[in-house]
Amino acid sequence: MENFDKLIRQQKEYKSARNDKYKSDSKDRLSKILKKKVETTMIGALSSIEEHFCFLWTSADGVELTPEQKLMFDTFQKVRSEILDKGNTQARNVDAELNQYDIKWLRYSVEMPVKPQD
């Protein structure tokens, strides 16, 4: 009887450990996804700024930049750096926020109806 109780206790410990690992893996998965979304937003914003405003700091065919263009380029670099710094800070904050939750990935599931044949 003692061996049976030990076996039951080990089974419960195994299920608990497996469930804890699943929750940890779920949290890590969500963290990676959220960080990627923050990074994609930052890079997309920078890309839009460059695409629509690059005429302010570029010159035609290798002509040296004017003082105004150099100032605009320096300003863009400063804004770019600030956007990346703030976005990276928020990406790091994802883990701090997720640590306040129990997370369990519900996975993908498909329910297939089964109809009896006549």
pLDDT in tens, 68-110: 999 999 999 999 999 999 999 999 999 999 999 999 888 877 7
For residue 89, tell me if it sits in a domain.
yes
* Type and span of the H or E element at 84: helix 67-98
Residue 95: the pLDDT is: 92
For residue 86, tell me if it sits in a domain.
yes
Question: What backbone torsions phi and psi does residue 112 show, to the nearest 5 degrees?
Answer: -105, 120
Residue 80: the pLDDT is: 97
Q: How far is CA 28 from CA 20, 47, 95, 105, in A?
A: 12, 28, 9, 10
For residue 113, tell me if it sits in a domain.
no
65: domain range? Answer: 22-97
Q: How far apart are CA 98 and CA 30, in angstroms?
A: 9
Half-sphere exposure of 96 (CA within 13 A, CB side): 5
**Of 16-30, 58-72, 104-118, the least confident:** 104-118
For residue 118, tell me if it sits in a domain.
no
Provide the domain count of the chain. 1
For residue 57, tell me if it sits in a domain.
yes
pTM of the entire predicted model: 0.74
For residue 17, tell me if it sits in a domain.
no
Q: By C-alpha distance, which of 110, 103, 109, 86 is closest to 32?
A: 103
* Type and span of the H or E element at 36: helix 2-53
* Model confidence at 37: pLDDT above 90: yes
For residue 65, tell me if it sits in a domain.
yes
For residue 73, tell me if it sits in a domain.
yes
